[in-house]
Structure 1
Amino acid sequence: MPVLNFHLVQGQHAASRVETLLLRASQLFSEVLCCPIDRIRVFVTEHAAQHACVGGKLVSQHDQAAPYFNFIVLQGRPLEDRHRLLAGFTDLLVELLGCKRELVRGGVITIAPEDWSIGGVPASRLRQAEIEARKMAAKP
Structure 2
Amino acid sequence: MPIFEVHVVADRHPPQVLDALLRQLSARYAEVLGSPVERVRGFVTAHPATHVVAGGEVGVEAPYATALVLRGRPAEQRHRLIAAFTDVLTDVLGASRESVRVRIEQVDPDDWGIAGVPAGRARAQEIAARAAQQP
Partner of 2:49: 49
| Residue aligned with 1:72, SS | strand
Listed one character per residue, the Cα deviations across residues 19-74 of structure 1 (whole Å, up to 9, x for unaligned) are 11100111111111111111110110000001111111211xxxx31010001000
Which residue does the alignment assign to 2:108? 112
The 5 Å alignment of 1:85-96 reads 85-96=81-92
Q: Distance in 1 between matches of 2:34 and 2:103?
A: 20
Structure 1 unmatched ranges of 5 or more: 132-140
SS at match of 1:127: helix
Q: Distance in 2 between matches of 1:75 and 1:122?
A: 13
2:115, 2:25 → 1: CA distance? 23
In percent, how many aligned pairs have the same letter? 46
Q: For structure 2, which runs of at least 5 residues remain unmatched after alignment?
A: 128-135
Output the CA distance in 1 between the equivalents of 2:48 and 2:35: 34
Q: TM-score, normalised by structure 2?
A: 0.89
Distance 1:49 1:40 in 2: 28
SS in 2 for 1:76: coil
Runs of 4 or more above 4 Å deviation: none
Q: For 2:105, what is the secondary structure of its paired residue?
A: strand
Question: What's the C-alpha RMSD, in Å, of the aligned pairs?
Answer: 1.5
Paired residue secondary structure (1:90) = helix
User: Scaled by the length of structure 1, what TM-score is found?
Assistant: 0.86
3-state SS in 2 of match to 1:31: helix
- The alignment partner of 2:90 has SS state of helix
Q: Give the count of matched residue pairs.
A: 127
